[in-house]
Structure 1
Amino acid sequence: MDKSLEKSLTQWLKSRQFACGVFLKLSIFLGIVNGLAIVAQAYYLATILDGVIMQHQSVMALQGAFVTLICLFAARALIAYARERVSFEAGKRLRQDIRQTILNKLIELGPVWIKGRPAGAWASIVFEQVEDLHDFYAKYLPQMMLAGFIPLTILVCVFPLNWAAGLILLVTAPLIPMFMILVGMGAADANRKNFTALSRLSGHFMDRLKGLSTLRLFHRGEVELNKVEVASEDFRTRTMSVLRLAFLSSAVLEFFAAVSIAVLAVYFGFSYLGHLNFGHYDLGISLFTGLFILILAPEFYQPLRDLGTHYHAKAQAIGAAESLVELLNTPTPQTKANAEPSNVDIDLSCVSIEAKNLTVYSQDGVCLLGPLSFSIAAKQHVAIVGPSGAGKTSLINALLGFLPYQGELSINGQPLNQISLAQWRQNLAWLGQDPQLFHGSLRDNVALANPQLSDEQVMKLLTQANLGEFVASHAQGLNVSISDQATGVSVGQAQRIALARALGQQASVYVLDEPTASLDLHSEQLVQQALNQAMSGKTCVMITHRIDQLTAMDNIMVLNQGKLVQQGQFDVLANDRSGMFAQLLNDEKETV
C-alpha cells in the first residue's frame, strides 16, 4: 500500500475516535492505574522476599506488606476486568457510529448508486469491515499510550537503583516496536487484499443465491459452483497469509522479549557471583534490587509486546478503512449538481416542477438524458413514455435526487439541489413495478413510512388499496407474515401492499414507474382504481408503456434517445401520425 495512503487512512481512523466518547480515555486511565499497581506489586513482593530471605524477618513483621500485596492482586484483577468492559464499550460505540454514517451515506447516494454493486459486497462493508475496526479502538489506541507510559515509569524506578539494568532495558526496548513496524508494513496490504477478496466472494455468492432457480433452469449450477469454489479458495489463501503474518509477529516479539529478560537475568546472576561489578553506584546489589528489577522486567516489555500483538489490529483496520473512506468520500448526486445544498424549507403541500436545459448524468459522469425543458403544473397528471432506453427512469431518478444533473430543476420555483432532500422525499409517494417488501408483518410493511399508524388506520389504507377483504379473511389479519422478496403474497397483493404504504404517506407528489406491470387484468384495475382516487388533487408523474390508457392524463411527455421529442395531450399526439407517440401507439395495438 502506498505510504501516503496508509498515513491518510491512519489519520482518518484516529479522527473517528471521538465516537468512542469518554470510554477510550477511561480505558487509557485504567491502564495507567494498572501500570502503577504493577510497580507497587513488584515493590512489595521484592520487599517480602528480601525480608524473609536476607533479613530473616518473621511473617508477622511483614503482615502489612502481605495484606497490601493481596489487595494489589485483587485490585489489578478488578482493573483488568473494568478495562476490558470499558474498551469493548468504546469499540461498540465506534462501530455503531460508523455503521450509522455508512447507512446515512448510502441513503444520500440513493438506490441507483447502490445497485451498482452486489448486495453481498455491501453486507461485507457494513458488517465484516466495520467489525474489523473494533480492536483498533478497543485495544490498539489505548495500548499506544500505555506502551509509552508504563515502560517510562519502570525506567524511572529502575535507573536510581541500577543504571546498568536501566540501560539494558532502554537499549533492548526498541527491538520490539522496530520489528513490529517491519511486519506491519506488509500486514496492512495483506488485510486490504483480504477484504477485497471477501467483498468479491460475498457479492458473487449472494448474486448466485438470488438467481438459484434461474441457474437450475439453465443447468448452470455446476459451473457457478466451480466459480464459487475458486473465489472461496482465493479468500482462504489471502486469509492464511494474514494469519501467517500475525503468528510470525507474535512469535518474534516473544523471542525478543525473552532474550532481553535473559540478558538482564545474566547480568544480575554474574553480579551476585562477583564477576561483574558495575551499574550499582558503588552501593552494591541487594537481593531487593535484583528481585524488584527482574519482577518488573517482564512488565516492562509487556506493553510493547501487547502493542505488537495489537499492531495487526491497526493493519486490519487500515485494510478495512480503505473501502469505507472511499465510500464516505463518494460525491452525492447533490454535490455533483454544482450547487451547495442550503436545505431551504418550502411549502410542499402543492407541488409544481419545472426544468430548463436539464441534463442528467450517471454516477460516472455519462450523459443519460437531455438537455430538455418542461414544466409540470401543480395537481397536474403527467405521463412519460418512450421506447426502452429513452431516459424515462433517469429523469425520475433525477427528480428523486438519486442522479446528478446540470441545468435547472426547480420545485415550486426553488432549485431542487437547494431543498432539504429529507423534506422533499417526505412529500413523495413512490410506487414502482417491483415493490420492495421487507421481512415482518403486513402491518410493519404498510406502516414503514409512518410507524405511528394505528391498526384501524392501517386497515383503512389496505381497504383503499383493495386489499381489505384479503386481510379480513386471513386468520392472522394484520399479522400476516411477509418474508424477504415478498415471499408469501402474490405479485398483485405485493403491489397493493406497496400502494397502501404509499397512500399512508399523505404525499403531495406521486411518482409511479409502471405501477401495474406484471399484474393480471383484475389486479391492474384494482390498483389503478385506488391510484386514481388517491391522486385526486395531487401532482403525478408516471412512467408507463400502456399508451392506450393515457386518455385521462393532463399531459404526455414523449422521450426518445434522451431527448424530449413530443409533448401534449393524448388526442393531439395520437393524431400526429409522423410523431413518436403515434408510432408507440400503433406498436402497442399490433402487439395486442
Structure 2
Amino acid sequence: MDKKKQRSLAQWLKGQSKLGKTWLMAAIGLAFLSGLFLVAQAALLANILHQLIIEKTDKSELWLSFVVLGIVVCIRALCSWGKEQAGYRAGEAVRLHIRKLILDKLHALGPATIQGRPAGTWASLILEQVEEMQDFFARYLPQMAIAVLIPFIILIAVFPLNWAAGLIFLVTAPLVPFFMALVGMGAADANRRNFKALQRLSGYFYDRLRGLSTIRLFDQAEAESNHLRIASEDFRKRTMEVLRLAFLSSAVLEFFTALSIAVTAVYFGFSYIGELNFGHYGMGITLFVGIFVLVLAPEFYQPLRDLGTFYHAKAQAIGAAESIVNFLDSTPEHQASGSAKVSDEAITIKATDLEVLSPDGAVLAGPISFEIREGQKVALVGQSGAGKTSLINAILGFLPYRGSLSINGLELKNADLAYWRKQVSWVGQNPQLFHGSVKDNVCLAAPMATDEQIQRVTKAAYADEFIQRLEKGLEHSVGDRASGLSVGQAQRIAVARALLQEGRFWVLDEPTASLDASSEKLVMESLDHATKDTTTLLVSHRIDQLGGCDNILVMQQGKLIQQGNFEQLKHEGVFAEMIQAVDRSDLDA
C-alpha cells in the first residue's frame, strides 16, 4: 500500500472519530489530570526520601506527607480507570457507526451484489475488521495527545530545577517516535495482507460448513480439508508477520527508552561524586532534585512507549479500513437513485431496449423490450441461465441497467427505490424464514400488524390449518433457515407474509418449485386469490400454471425471443418445444 493511500485511510479513520469526540476529550482530560498528579506524586516521594535520608527527620513527623501521597496515588488510579472507560466508549460509538454504514450499504446494494461473494467474507468485514478498529479509537487517538501533554508537563516541572536533565529529555524524546515510525512503515501492509487472508479463510470455511453434507456425499472431505489447511497456513503466516513487526517495534522502543533513562541516571551519578558540575543553576544538585527527576524519567518516556505500542493498533486499523472504505466508496450505477415516488396507481412496467448489467458492468440480459400493463398477470419463462433472475433484480432495483425501465411512467433510476420495494409483494422458491416465532416471520413486513390482520392472512395462505396444530400456535419457535417446519409450511408462511405487505405488484419466483402436490395446490389457490386484479410477474417452469396468464415472456440466453398468450405461443418456437418436453416427460413417467 502506497503512502498516499495510507494517509487517506488514516484521515478517514480520524474523520470517523468525530462521533466519539466527547469521550475522546474526556479520556485526554483525565490523562492530563493524571499527569499533574504524577508530578505531585514524584515531588512528595522525593521530599519524603530527602527528609528521611538527608534531613534525618523522624517518620512520625511526615505522616501528613504519607497520607497526601496515598491520596494522590488513588486519584491517579481513578483517572487511569476513567481514561480507559472513556476511550472504550469512544471506540464503541465509532464502531457502531461504521457497522451501520456497512449494513446500510449492503441493504442498498441488495441480494444480487451480496450473493456475489461468500457469506464468510461479509461476516469478516462486518465483525472482525470493524472490531480491529477499537484500539485505534480507544487508545491510539487519545495517546497521540497524551504523548505530547504528559512530557510537556514533566519538562515544565524539570527545567526550573535542572536544565541539563531537561535537555537530555528534550533531545532523546524524538528518538522514540522516529524509530517507531521507521519500524512501523510495513505494519499497515502486513495487516492488510492479514485481513485479506482472514476474509478468504472465513468465506471458504463458512461455505464448506454449509455444504458439509454434500461434500461428504461426494467423498470430497479430505480434498476440502487440504484446501482449508492451505488457507489456514496462509493466514498463520500473515499473522506471524504482523506479530514479528509488533515485537520488533516494542523491542526498539524499550531499547531507546532504557538508553535515555540510563543517560539521565549517569548524569546524576557523576554529579553526586563531583565529576560533573553543570545544569543546576549554581544551586547544587540535592537528593530531592535527583530523586524527583529520576522518578519522572520513566514516566516522561512512558506515553511515547505507549504510543509505540498502540501504533500497531493504527496499522491494524488502516489494514482493516482499506476493505471497508473500498466497499463503502463503491457506487454501482444503480445506486444513483432519485427521490421521486412511484405513483399510487395500479402498477405498469415498461422496458425499452433494456440491458441488465452486473455490478461490474457486464451485460447479463438484453436488449429487451416489453410492457406489463396494470392488473395483468405476466409469466416469465425460459431455461436456467436465460436471464430471468437478472431481469427481476433489475426491476426491483438491485442491478444496474442501460436503456429504459419505467414504473408507472417514472424511470426507475429516478425513483425512490426503498419506496418502490414497499409496493412489491414477493414470494420465492426457497422461503427465507428467520430465527424467532411464526408470528415474527409473518409480521416481517408489518411489525405493528394486529392479531386480526395476522389471522386473516394466515387463513388466506392456508397456513392456519397447521399453525393451529402447533403446540404454541403463532408463538411456535422457528429455527434458522426454517428448521422445525416442512418446506410447504414455510412456503405458506412466506405467502402470508407477502399478503400482509399488501403490495401493488407481486413477484412470484417459482413459488411451488419445492412443494408436493397437496401443498402446491393450496399455495397456488391462495396466490391466485391474492393476485386477482393485481399486476403480477410469475417466474415458472410449470407449463400447466401458465394458461391463465395474460402474457408470457419467453427468454433465452438473455434475449426476449417470444411473447404472447398461451394460445399464441403453444404451436411454435421455444415455448412449443418446452410444452413438448413436458409432454414427453409425462409419457416417460
- Residue 39 (structure 2) pairs with residue 43 (structure 1): no
Match runs of 1:546-561 below 5 Å: 546-561=542-557
Residue number among 382, 393, 396 corresponding to 1:400 in the alignment? 396
Q: CA deviation at 1:55?
A: 3.3
Look up the match of 2:579. 585
The secondary structure found in structure 2 opposite 1:373 is strand
CA contact (8 A) 1:333 1:401 kept: no
Distance 1:343 1:52 in 2: 79
- Relative distance call for 1:359 and 1:9 in structure 2 (3 A) is same
The secondary structure found in structure 2 opposite 1:473 is coil
Q: CA deviation at 1:252?
A: 2.5
For residue 217 of structure 1, what is the amino acid of its counterpart? L
CA contact (8 A) 2:427 2:507 kept: yes
Look up the match of 1:272. 272
Q: CA deviation at 1:537?
A: 2.7
Look up the match of 1:84. 84
For residue 48 of structure 1, what is the amino acid of its counterpart? I
Match runs of 1:520-559 below 5 Å: 520-559=516-555
The secondary structure found in structure 2 opposite 1:306 is helix
Look up the match of 2:566. 570
Distance 1:66 1:343 in 2: 70
Residue number among 364, 369, 392 corresponding to 2:365 in the alignment? 369
Look up the match of 2:216. 216
Q: CA deviation at 1:461?
A: 2.1
Q: CA deviation at 1:20?
A: 1.8
Q: CA deviation at 1:21?
A: 4.3
The secondary structure found in structure 1 opposite 2:284 is coil
Q: Which moved more, 1:284-293 or 1:47-56?
A: 47-56
CA contact (8 A) 1:109 1:333 kept: no
Look up the match of 2:166. 166
The secondary structure found in structure 2 opposite 1:20 is helix
Q: CA deviation at 1:61?
A: 5.3
The secondary structure found in structure 1 opposite 2:96 is helix
For residue 103 of structure 2, what is the amino acid of its counterpart? L
- Relative distance call for 1:459 and 1:183 in structure 2 (3 A) is farther
Q: CA deviation at 1:455?
A: 4.2
Distance 2:450 2:55 in 1: 83
CA contact (8 A) 2:105 2:328 kept: yes
CA contact (8 A) 2:457 2:499 kept: yes
Match runs of 1:33-432 below 5 Å: 33-59=33-59, 62-335=62-335, 340-348=336-344, 350-432=346-428
Q: CA deviation at 1:58?
A: 4.7
CA contact (8 A) 2:337 2:417 kept: no
Over the aligned positions, Cα root-mean-square deviation in angstroms equals 1.7
For residue 449 of structure 1, what is the amino acid of its counterpart? A
Look up the match of 2:474. 478
CA contact (8 A) 2:159 2:166 kept: yes
CA contact (8 A) 1:386 1:392 kept: yes
Q: Deviations over 1:188-235 (max 9, x none)?
A: 111111111111111111111111111111111111122212222222
CA contact (8 A) 1:173 1:301 kept: yes
Q: CA deviation at 1:56?
A: 3.9
For residue 113 of structure 1, what is the amino acid of its counterpart? T
CA contact (8 A) 2:342 2:407 kept: no
For residue 575 of structure 2, what is the amino acid of its counterpart? F
Query: Aligned residue pairs: how many?
Result: 586
Q: Which moved more, 1:318-327 or 1:247-256?
A: 247-256
For residue 216 of structure 2, what is the amino acid of its counterpart? R
For residue 585 of structure 1, what is the amino acid of its counterpart? I
For residue 554 of structure 2, what is the amino acid of its counterpart? V
Q: CA deviation at 1:45?
A: 2.1
Q: Which moved more, 1:547-556 or 1:56-65?
A: 56-65
Distance 2:21 2:446 in 1: 32
The secondary structure found in structure 2 opposite 1:363 is coil
The secondary structure found in structure 2 opposite 1:407 is strand
Q: Deviations over 1:355-378 (max 9, x none)?
A: 222111111211111222222222
Distance 2:170 2:252 in 1: 19
Residue number among 464, 481, 499 corresponding to 1:503 in the alignment? 499
Q: CA deviation at 1:59?
A: 4.7
Could you tell me the TM-score, scaled by structure 1's length?
A: 0.95
Distance 1:13 1:480 in 2: 45
Q: Deviations over 1:48-107 (max 9, x none)?
A: 322333334455654544333222111111111111111111111111111111111111
The secondary structure found in structure 1 opposite 2:395 is helix
Distance 1:373 1:42 in 2: 83
For residue 270 of structure 1, what is the amino acid of its counterpart? F
CA contact (8 A) 1:250 1:308 kept: yes
For residue 586 of structure 1, what is the amino acid of its counterpart? Q
Distance 1:470 1:24 in 2: 56
Distance 1:488 1:375 in 2: 41
Distance 1:342 1:223 in 2: 49
Could you tell me the TM-score, scaled by structure 2's length?
A: 0.96
For residue 221 of structure 1, what is the amino acid of its counterpart? A
The secondary structure found in structure 1 opposite 2:67 is helix
Q: CA deviation at 1:587?
A: 2.3
Q: CA deviation at 1:524?
A: 1.0
Contiguous gaps of at least 5 residues in structure 2 = none
Distance 1:112 1:106 in 2: 10
- Residue 437 (structure 2) pairs with residue 441 (structure 1): yes
- Residue 6 (structure 2) pairs with residue 12 (structure 1): no
Distance 2:126 2:183 in 1: 28
Q: CA deviation at 1:321?
A: 0.8
Q: Deviations over 1:448-480 (max 9, x none)?
A: 222222444333322221121111112121222
CA contact (8 A) 1:108 1:332 kept: no
CA contact (8 A) 2:433 2:482 kept: yes
For residue 247 of structure 1, what is the amino acid of its counterpart? F
Contiguous gaps of at least 5 residues in structure 1 = none
CA contact (8 A) 2:341 2:420 kept: no
CA contact (8 A) 1:354 1:375 kept: yes
Q: Which moved more, 1:298-307 or 1:196-205?
A: 196-205
